[in-house]
Amino acid sequence: MPRYYLTKLSVEGFRGIKNEGDPLTLRFKPDAVNSIYAQNGIGKTSLFEAISYAIFGKLPKLDGLQRSERPETYYVNRFHTGGVGSITLEFKPDDGTAAVEIVVQRTAAGQRTVTSPTGHADPEAFLASLAEDFTVVDYTKFARFIDDTPLDRGRTFSSLIGLARFAHLHQRFDQASNTRAFNTDFQMAALKAKLDAAERLVRDCRAAALSAFEAVTGTAIQDLSAEEQRIAEVTAALAAVPTLARAFAGKNILTVDMDAARAAIVAAEGGPAKAEYQKVLRNIEALAQSAPASEVAADIAMLLDLARRHDAAVALAGSKSRQDLFEAAKGAVAEADWSDPHQCPVCDTRIEEPIAARMERLLERYREADQLGEDLKQVVTASVWLDWLNKLEGCAALTIADDKKHRANIRQLASEGRLTEGRLREAVDSAQQLEEERKTTLETAQKREQELQAELSPSLVALTQQLEAGSRFREAILGHRTAAKDAGIWRTHKKWRERWQTFISTAAKAVGEAESRLATQRINAIEASYQELFRGLVRGGVDMRPKLERSSDSQDVDLKLENFYGEAGISARAVLSESYRNAIAGAIFFAAAVKQSGPARFMVLDDITSSFDGGHQFALMEALRTKLQASAAADGLQFIVLSHDTLLEKYFDKTASEQVGWHHQRLQGAAPTGNVYASQLDANRLKTLATTHLLAGQVDIGQPFVRQYLEFKLSQIISKLKIPVPPDYAIRSDNKTVGNAIDAISAAIDLYDGCGKLVLSAQQKSDFRNQHVPAIIANYVSHYETGGGTPINAHVLLGVLQSVDDLAECFRYDDTSKTPPERKWYRNLGQR
């Protein structure tokens, strides 16, 4: 699969680049470090943002603004009358196939369109494939990598080493296997409550059936394993009674018409007291079954306590509408471009506690309230007290008005998270009144039972009791079947869900271990590279040996120093100065990026040296040029460096003029209201600028450029021919004067000439000593240094420029071994 260099960037109407009708266009060389210099406010960062927006589709700097600031209105240049920002990028593949050109446009309304003049089938997907963490890097990203928490650093590093998708998968598996999330998503508490209720009903029905069986047959049994046999035995015992034989003909206890059987008893014996006695027995049974279980008191106490804590948590958290506000505020301060972590993005108040920490603390209150609400809902679902209340409110022996029934409303409020302690206590008090009514009604019914037993014959009483026991047996068996079936269904669901939990937990563990091993392998693979790079960037000091350590059971990545003045395992974040910290980040970013094999084979760097010391800046640039760029290494990258540092500009200018593998451009203009232009900086830039101004009669403007051109050419001669200079000249920039440079060159010529080793021809030696140096000194240097005499005119200065070029030619020769002959610099004053 080919990888792509960025070879052209054209911008119009985006951010600080207006250039209406005349796009700012820059070309980049694939096999070189490409540097762009501009003073602050000219549009350098706008170029960086244009590339970032084209590839990533957003700008975190703007997305982090408050909605009231209308961040969407700052993408398109506010002074561009067309109201459309246009970004054109050209990507050249490294396999020699055709280049890909993509145009990204954004309207003032925020609509983004992506097209490809070269006919790429899916330009948006192509740009997305380039969206790696190392593609566009600024100072903030460097600094954040060091200052991040180990978890955030680990996630960033996963992207750097090509494991972003794997890390994302790992994160998803962790979320899916989280026990709390699993229990909530799969409603395990509710399922357990349903299963517990069904199993409790199975037990209650079994006990009722065993008791009723003994009352009907006179025989005690311990289980219902032979259910059909037990049904047959109860049926036989009742069918053997002559009064009931006809009612049970061809039927069993489950299918018999119980009302017909009761009517048969009444008809056989006669009298209304018998019918009343049957009804009293049924009421006594219903009232007895509605009695509270022993667990009810503890259950209601737990419910009331949980409801009280839920009320307190809700009151502490406050209005639900504020939760969204807190979430938004936390998200705003988490953005990379939010500069002050202590300033509130909503009211701009600055507090001592970090805003993110405060928002998290406030949001935790909502999470706690929500969790207590969920707990209350699950407890209500499985409540023994609520089951008892259901029986009590449904008891046929009691007459209860609808406004006295609370169970349904309690369940609904709990499911909606609106159940309060006050409402629950109201229901508890009402249930207690119903319980007193149940006891009174039961006592009355039992008293009436005794009265009727005294009036009726013992045989009738016994037969009635036996038939009602059979009715209870039937209801218990039918209830047992239903409850057992429900329990089996819930048990199966629980088993399936637990199997899924086992699977996803095992899978999450396997993915986590695989991702950890792979990340560790890749960390180890680049360890030597980033340590060597760091050593080169801060050479001369202690070899601190930074080391990335990946946690074995999480995505955390710690950054330690193996040798901090003899101590090991020291936190880099805690002890290093900003320049050293950024050097570590740079070394890690570059070492990781070079190892990648994705579509992007370029890095765009914006002001990454802002906090570097001067020496570290140059060391970083030299590392890019000699070790990391595409022409220096088989797997090297194309680098595009943007900077406003004047010290680096001199380095860029000199390196681009003297070294292969460096391409330099400078931005000039009047952003954001005017046009911005790019000029390529090469060896003839100063001469061109001087000539242009002198021919236009602008002597005062052109004269300094003549001086700079002379200094540049003398420095070039010294560099190309490796002419020895005094230490002060090499170290102190204020000693790099024209006079000192000419003195050093002259002294070197005299030395080689005295030894008979001088490679210059006699004519070149004569021209240098007797013609060009005197002409330059007489016509310009002395005049310029003293500032005296008649003002020098443009023609004299143009002559000085020619003399400078002629002087430089004294140190070049024609290489006739090539056709046509090639003009070259002497290797040094002693050899070609």
Rounded to 5°, the CA angle 104-107-108 comes to 145
3-class DSSP assignment, residue 565: coil
- 10 Å CB burial of residue 277 (0-12, 13-18, 19+) is buried
3-class DSSP assignment, residue 75: coil
> CA dihedral in degrees (715, 716, 720, 724; nearest 10)?
-10
Distance CA 29, CA 118 (A): 20
* Contact residues for 801 (Cβ-Cβ < 8 A; gap 6+): 687, 690, 691, 706, 709
Which one, of 411, 418, 324, 413, lies nearest residue 370 by Cα? Answer: 418
Which structure tokens are listed for 130?
Answer: 């380039």
Q: Is residue 809 part of a domain?
A: yes
Rounded to 5°, the CA angle 392-397-398 comes to 60
Q: Are 153 and 145 in contact (CB under 8 A)?
A: yes
Q: Is residue 735 part of a domain?
A: yes
| pLDDT of amino acid 594 | 86
Angle, helices 458-537/614-623, rounded to nearest 10 degrees: 100
* Contact residues for 31 (Cβ-Cβ < 8 A; gap 6+): 629, 630, 631, 638, 661
Which one, of 558, 550, 561, 553, lies nearest residue 520 by Cα? Answer: 550
Distance CA 427, CA 454 (A): 40
Q: How many CB atoms lie within 10 A of CB 527?
A: 16
Q: Is residue 199 part of a domain?
A: no
Instruction: Give the length of the chain.
Output: 832
- 10 Å CB burial of residue 290 (0-12, 13-18, 19+) is buried
b/e sequence 694-731, b meaning 16+ C-beta within 10 Å: beeeebeebbebbbebbbbbbbbbbebbebebeeebee
Q: Are 130 and 4 in contact (CB under 8 A)?
A: yes
> How many domains in the chain?
1
What pLDDT digit, counting tens, does each position of 105-129 carry? 999 989 999 999 999 999 999 999 9
Q: Is residue 757 part of a domain?
A: yes
3-class DSSP assignment, residue 686: helix
Residues of the chain with pLDDT under 50: 786-790
| pLDDT of amino acid 28 | 94
Distance CA 730, CA 727 (A): 5
Q: Are 278 and 464 in contact (CB under 8 A)?
A: yes
Distance CA 214, CA 166 (A): 66
Strand partners, 603: 639
Please provide the distance, in angstroms rounded to a whole number, between the alpha carbons at the two ends of the chain.
45
Distance CA 590, CA 160 (A): 9
Q: Is residue 329 part of a domain?
A: no
| Sequence-separated contacts (24+) of 94-97 with Cβ below 8 Å | 94/2, 94/3, 94/4, 94/5, 94/30, 94/601, 94/630, 95/2, 97/2
Evaluated on CA atoms 425, 430, 435, 440, the torsion sign reads positive
CA 261 to each of CA 241, 251, 456, 464: distance values in angstroms, whole numbers, following the listed order = 11, 12, 18, 10
Q: Are 573 and 147 in contact (CB under 8 A)?
A: yes
| pLDDT of amino acid 254 | 92
Q: Is residue 794 part of a domain?
A: yes
| pLDDT of amino acid 134 | 82
Tokens 């199966």 sit on residue: 492
| Helical residues (DSSP H) of 596-698, grouped into ranges | 614-623, 646-658, 685-695
Q: Are 170 and 555 in contact (CB under 8 A)?
A: yes
| pLDDT of amino acid 342 | 78
Determine the structural domain holding residue 721 and report its residue range. 685-825
Distance CA 231, CA 737 (A): 119
Distance CA 612, CA 633 (A): 25
Q: Is residue 702 part of a domain?
A: yes
What pLDDT digit, counting tens, does each position of 192-209 carry? 888 888 898 899 899 999
| pLDDT of amino acid 101 | 96
Q: Is residue 623 part of a domain?
A: no
* Contact residues for 86 (Cβ-Cβ < 8 A; gap 6+): 10, 11, 12, 13, 14, 23, 103, 104, 105
State the Rg of the chain over Cα.
Answer: 45
* Contact residues for 241 (Cβ-Cβ < 8 A; gap 6+): 463, 466
